[in-house]
Amino acid sequence: MTASAIRIGLIYPELLGTYGDRGNALVLRQRARWRGLDADIVEVRADEPIPAELDVYLLGGGEDAPQLAASAGLRASRAAIDRARANGAVVLAICAGFQLIGNTYVDADGDVLEGLGLVDMDTRSGAPRLIGEVVVEPDRALELPLVSGFENHGGRTTLGNDVRPFGRVVAGGGNGVDGVDGALAERLVGTYLHGPVLPRNPALADLLLQWIVGHELTPLPALVEDRLRMERIDETMRTGIQAWLRDRRLARG
């Protein structure tokens, strides 16, 4: 890795790597390289300290046991993460990783797991489990098109009064509270969307890269990616409307 390369941190992939979330790192690296930017993936294993020199920190999904194991290491590296963010590092946190950047996570047994506290929010395990395709309308300030993803979680995440969601849920569950998904802070995106989310949504990947390099990027052709994204969105919306009509008919008797 050269000194000037973008350092893409894949944090605890053996614990936080559900549903192919490693793909987010691969997409960031490739879209950087297509633009002539050096980029390398730095895998940080769970038995290693998290370095403060990364340009982006990717936290993926995981079940309760791996999430518990990951939380201790993350808290131990909180100072390094804070230094990195103060120097402009970007954070993308998915599902369990999203829950871990909050204050607390209360599991199904009532046990409280302390989070990193990067975002003022709390998560509690709930029912039913939220599974399926999701469509999110991102916060307008991001200037992104509709985002497509897949969710599989029991979390109900409540944001603090001053915390902005990543976006409004058009279809699916998201945070399971208030009709929103994820959280948004300075150079930080949290979301429940797998997929992985960046291969599905290249505009979001490019936004993160833009935050990293600090300037606008040369646009890339994305005809195939955009067509696949819209296919998933159209199918999700059509299925959602069909379910709504079915439920309405059942309610009428």
194 included as an active-site residue: yes
- Check residue 20 and give its pLDDT: 92
Task: Give average pLDDT by consecutive 10-residue segment, the chain, 253 residues.
Answer: 80 93 97 97 96 98 92 96 97 98 94 96 96 96 96 97 97 96 98 96 97 94 85 83 51 52
The partner residues of 130 in beta bridges, in order of sequence, read 153
Q: Which of these is catalytic: 7, 29, 31, 194? A: 194
CATH of 6-252, one of 3.50.50.60, 3.40.50.880, 3.30.1490.20, 3.20.20.70: 3.40.50.880
Rg (CA), the chain: 18
- Check residue 242 and give its pLDDT: 55
Joined together, the tokens standing for residue 236 give 């999700």
95 included as an active-site residue: yes
Cβ within 8 Å of residue 106, ≥6 positions away:
112, 113, 122, 123, 124, 125
- Check residue 225 and give its pLDDT: 85
User: What is the rounded CA–CA span in Å between residue 199 and residue 19?
Assistant: 12
Q: Which of these is catalytic: 42, 54, 95, 171? A: 95
